[in-house]
Amino acid sequence: MSLTVRDVMVSDLVTVRPGETARQAYRLMRDHRFRHLPVVENGHLLGILSDRDLRPVLLSPTLGRARVRELMSEDLTTVTPDAPVEEAASLLVVKRIGCLPVVDEGRLVGIVTETDLLAVLVELLGLLTQSTRLDVAVTGGPDAYERIVEIIRAHEGRIISVGAVPGPAGKTVFSVRLEPCDPRRLVEALTRAGFEVLSHRRMGG
């Protein structure tokens, strides 16, 4: 089952009201180590205040008088809690924003940030665990991938994750992350089957 925004969003929210001062908002960001604050009134999302919005007034005598409503961004991109994680990640990249408010039937129910999604990606790819990585260049599509998987499993390799990127000369490079193992037998078997193993190394841990 694929992950949804609900699985990764932060629902224990710290918010700010539009009438609060910039100084109050700054203290909330500082104390909680946030870069973004949803601006909410009666449960409804009105805007987002970021540390970038506060920078122009931080060293100004107007810091105590400026109100959140004057500094917040009202041009909002939101996502629903049941949206796929991939949709949230795409919005963050395309819109070049650092966070997405999660809205359900007009009410703010959570927030998801680029940091949250990066943490999910790191966990899914097993980047912080010990593993063995094989980079294999192939011509062809799904059939080649299936054959690589068959060979790895036949030699008792346990796959954690697989990524694919364009390679040289029109080839595809599959980066296969495995549970820790001695990759030499796998490299020999893949080479005998006609695959080009570009690299193999231990990762993480």
Tell me: do 73 and 142 sit in the same domain.
no
- Distance (Å, rounded) from C-alpha 183 to C-alpha 173? 17
Tell me: do 135 and 103 sit in the same domain.
no
Contact 136, 197 (CB under 8 A): yes
Residue count (the chain): 205
CATH code: domain of residue 182 = 3.30.70.260
Q: What is the pTM of this model?
A: 0.58
If you average pLDDT over residues 191-202, what whole number do you get? 87
Which has more confidence, 4 or 168? 4
Map residue 62 onto helix, strand or coil: helix
Question: pLDDT at position 1, please?
Answer: 45
**Residue 120 scores a pLDDT above 80:** no
- The pLDDT tens digits for 57-115 are 777 776 667 899 999 999 899 999 999 888 888 888 788 888 899 999 888 999 998 87
CATH code: domain of residue 49 = 3.10.580.10
Tell me: do 116 and 136 sit in the same domain.
no
Domain that holds residue 67: 5-121
Map residue 17 onto helix, strand or coil: coil
Tell me: do 74 and 167 sit in the same domain.
no
Structure tokens at 57: 């007034």
Least confident of 8-12, 122-126, 144-148, 155-159: 122-126
Tell me: do 107 and 171 sit in the same domain.
no
CB-based contacts of 105, cutoff 8 Å, min separation 6: none
Tell me: do 113 and 135 sit in the same domain.
no
**Residue 125 scores a pLDDT above 60:** no
| Winning range, highest mean pLDDT, from 44-58, 141-155, 181-195 | 181-195
- Distance (Å, rounded) from C-alpha 137 to C-alpha 164? 10
Which has more confidence, 123 or 135? 135
- The pLDDT tens digits for 37-58 are 999 998 889 999 988 888 877 7
